[in-house]
Structure 1
């Protein structure tokens, strides 16, 4: 169940992050960035999650996905 939840939250986070940052990406890239961003954001926002509740998990996932998109665009996407 945890993996399915991670995919759903990751896909939502990737979608939101790509829209916020105005990035055109295919579905697979969006989901991959969202899932990886959810992992990164989950680790970074762990303390906030315990303090403010489950909504911080989505915020952390979106922030993590945005950070990963920035890294992707800066170092990988522009070759």
Structure 2
């Protein structure tokens, strides 16, 4: 069940993050960005989870996805 929640939250976070960064990505890339961002955000913002509940996990997932997109846009492959 936690894996399914990670995928669902990651997909939502990836969708929001790609729209906030004005990037057009395909569905698998959006989900991957969100899941990886959820892992990054979950690790770095773990203490917020205990303070604010599951909403902090979602905020961390979006922030992690935004950081990942920024890194991808800055250091990723050039077109």
- Give yes or no for TM over 0.5: yes
Report matched runs for 1:22-37 at 5 Å: 22-37=22-37
User: What RMSD over aligned residues (CA atoms) do the two structures have, in Å?
Assistant: 0.9
* TM-score, length-scaled by structure 1: 0.95
Report matched runs for 1:1-79 at 5 Å: 1-78=1-78
Moved over 3 A (4+): none
Structure 2: which 5+ runs fail to align? none
Count of aligned positions: 79
CA shift, 1:77, in A, is 3.3
Q: Deviations over 1:27-51 (max 9, x none)?
A: 1110000000000000011011111
